[in-house]
Amino acid sequence: MSGKFIVIEGLEGAGKSTAVATVSAWLEARNAAFIQVREPGGTPFAEALRDIVKGDWEEQVTPQAELLLMYAARVQLVENVIRPALLKGTWVIGDRHDLSSRAYQGGGREVDAKILAQLKQFTLQNFTPDFTLYLDINPEVGLSRASSRGALDRFERSKIDFFKRTRNRYLEIATEEENISVINAEQDLVNVQQAILVALENRWPA
């Protein structure tokens, strides 16, 4: 099979790391070459931007600054890692991509969708994932899971209304775009993994 770009999306605590492992195992069973990447991050420059955007600052980080940092990191990853891998026939599993900005900055921070579309076109042109698995979870449940892992970062400490707006935007987009599969992430682990495998098999039958 030629290389494809599969993205895992979801709120904090939704289980993205487990989903990445599930997709990885699915690809291994098919003897497909693949790499894993994360956003923001995935290159030295993008990882430095990750530290900036998720870190604590004495000043207020504006939604505009946050959004620009996200796309700066994203375009570095796409151009320097993802596109080259896909051209070689390697599959790419992404922990977040452009949908995150549309949900977190567009929904959570309430940045105008037209601005997001223009920024995406400027940085990524028509580059989009082949398939996205959105792990849907109630924000309260997800944040409870996230807090059990340790200290929360700047994003994770946002008010609950921010995460509710983010989730609503995720679900709105998922109903509009055919290449997004919604997975109920509040199920037990076995059922979540099974739902992911079913979605993958439906998208790429053996």
The 10s digit of each residue's pLDDT in 119-156 is 999 999 999 999 999 999 999 999 999 888 777 788 88
The 10s digit of each residue's pLDDT in 74-88 is 999 999 999 999 999
Picking from 188, 136, 121, the residue whose alpha carbon sits closest to that of residue 167 is 136
Enumerate long-range contacts of 66-69, CB under 8 Å, 24 or more apart: 66/105, 66/109, 67/101, 67/105, 67/109, 67/111, 67/115, 67/116, 67/119, 68/119, 69/40
Dihedral through CA 50, CA 134, CA 5, CA 198, nearest 10? 150
Look at residue 115 in the predicted model and tell me its pLDDT: 96
Q: Going by C-beta distance under 8 Å and a sequence separation of 6 or more, which residues neighbour residue 51? A: none
Q: Which domains does the chain have, with CATH numbers?
A: 5-203 (3.40.50.300)
